[in-house]
Amino acid sequence: MFSPPEPVQLRLEYTTIDDLWPASRWDGPHGAVYCREYRYGAAYRYGSELPHHLLGRFTQPPPLIAGEDAQDLTFGDSLFLDTETTGLSGGTGTYVFLIGAARFIDGEFVLRQYFLHDLHQERALLHALDEFAQGCTGLVSFNGKGFDVPLIANRYIMQRSRLRLPAHCHLDLLWPARRIWSRRLPSCALTALEREVLAVERRGDVPGALIPELYFRYLRSKDASLLAAVFEHNRRDVLALASLAVALCAAALEPVEYLKHPVDLLALGRLLLRRREYALAEHCHQQALAGKLPRAERGWAWVGLADIYGRTERREEALPLLQSAARLGGPAGLEAAIRLAKYLEHQARDYAAAAEMTALALGQQGANRHVAADLAHRMSRLQKKQTGAVISATEAAIPAVRP
């Protein structure tokens, strides 16, 4: 049954972007763009960290954080970038309507927000961003490699222009943050890291999924009050980038002093182990074990520490740790039992003990069918070796009979 549409409610009073951002309209060679600027001095603190530590205490990200793409990045010459868009899936129909960008200028952390008040002014928006980013040699983002930068690059292409952001030297904070905090935190979203790492609790924050719809409503009504919470959300995101960069540098360079939770120390220790930085990795594992680790994580700490001892020619110290982990059970216990079985079979040549450890591994929960099949094959081989060893010992005990 057809229902007539509800009558349109006309709003006689609303807030324009000029009311919300007074004196923020800039006229450039490609049209008008709205820009709001904030300046933060050396004493400004966002959450638990001072962004200005990136000018003195941590001028460059350590290799553990930088990875291969940001080895030459200097924070003082970098652009901190976050965007708000008309969709989360990307594509040619997705616009970047708000760009939050910040950099250090004359000792201040200068943050600018560029707002696309009309879809036809996109070229003006991108031109303004180019001007602000001029001279920057690095880029800092959160998930920017997978979302922000490809989307902005696509908008440049749509405007028949060339991306001028320094994307060749890009530090994406999402990935090192996950490596350090994902063992403990159920989410490594930026707001979750703010709460758990930076001690920032956002109140009244707009959910990201609602942001595109709010912008489309603005385009229809020109009521900028709809976007007030979006502007604040974006401003906080950019500030969080700087403080999170400080936190990651401190965690990598001063782990025992900075990371208070033993699970975080264990995560960093395992990361250092993969990088073959054995001394610091050992220290992180030991400090993690000195804290209140959950049962499963304690097993992984024993396995990791045993791995460090094995790689630094201290195998005698490694074996008791693997034995403790194997008895503890779980995924770490399975890993420890397999390693012990290999050692006992191939190096100690104690086939009976190797078979016992293989049986223990077979009884552990968590072994997939490939691991279980490999363990079954190992058990069969060990049984044959034990039988062969018994036959050899029997033959050696029987004196040879001479004719």
Question: 177 vs 54, 235, 256, 282, 334, CA distance in Å?
Answer: 17, 20, 17, 21, 28
Count of domains in the chain?
Answer: 2
| 89: Cβ contacts below 8 Å, ≥ 6 apart | none
Picking from 226, 253, 280, the residue at the C-terminal end of a domain is 253
Whether residue 318 sits in one domain with residue 236: no
User: Is residue 278 domain-resident?
Assistant: no
Same-domain status, 231 and 323: no
Q: Are residues 238 and 303 in the same domain?
A: no
Evaluate whether residue 74 is within a structural domain: yes
Q: Which of 253, 282, 311 is the last residue of a domain?
A: 253
Q: Which residue has the tokens 């028949």?
A: 160
The pLDDT-based confidence of 10 (bands split at 50, 70, 90) is very low
φ, ψ dihedrals at 171, nearest 5°: -100, 105
pLDDT, tens digit, 9 for 90 and up, residues 162-188: 888 999 999 999 999 999 999 999 999
- Tell me which DSSP letter residue 207 carries: P
Q: What φ, ψ does residue 10 adopt, rounded to 5°?
A: -85, 135
Confidence of residue 325 (pLDDT cuts 50, 70, 90): very high
Q: How many CB atoms lie within 10 A of CB 195?
A: 16
CATH code for the domain in which residue 73 is found: 3.30.420.10
Q: Residue 12's pLDDT is what?
A: 45
As a whole number, the mean pLDDT across the chain is: 90
Q: Are residues 214 and 336 in the same domain?
A: no
| Last residue within a domain, chosen from 196, 227, 253 | 253
What is the rounded distance in angstroms from the CA atom of residue 157 to the CA atom of residue 155? Answer: 5
* pLDDT at site 111: 98
The answer on 92 and 196 residing in a single domain is yes
Asked if 176 and 299 sit in the same domain, the reply is: no
CA end-to-end span of the chain: 112
Specify the pTM. 0.87
Report pLDDT digits (tens) over 196-214: 999 999 888 999 999 999 9
CA separation for the pair 102, 234 (Å, rounded): 11
The residue length of the chain stands at 403
Q: Helix H segments across 312-368? A: 315-328, 330-346, 351-362
Q: Are residues 28 and 110 in the same domain?
A: yes
386 within a domain of the structure (yes/no): yes
- Pair 311, 220 in one domain: no
pLDDT over 70 for what percent of the chain?
Answer: 91
Tell whether 246 and 302 lie within a shared domain.
no
Do residue 246 and residue 300 come from a single domain?
Answer: no
Q: Among 257-266, 283-292, 295-304, 392-401, whose mean pLDDT is lowest?
A: 392-401
Q: Is 309 within the bounds of a domain?
A: yes
- Packing angle, helices 330-346 and 351-362, rounded to 10: 160
Q: What is the mean pLDDT of residues 249-275?
A: 96
Residues 121 and 242 in one domain: yes
Using CA atoms, how far residue 75 sits from 52, 56, 60, in Å, is 10, 10, 6
249 and 299 housed in the same domain: no
The answer to whether residue 401 sits within a structural domain is no
pLDDT at 392: 53
Number of CB atoms found within 10 A of residue 95's CB? 21
| CA 396-398-400 angle, 5° bins | 95
Domain CATH for 375: 1.25.40.10
Q: How many CA atoms lie within 13 A of 153 on its CB side?
A: 11
Q: Which domain holds residue 344?
A: 294-392
Helix %, strand %, coil % of the chain (to 5): 55, 10, 35
Q: What is the mean pLDDT of residues 19-28?
A: 89
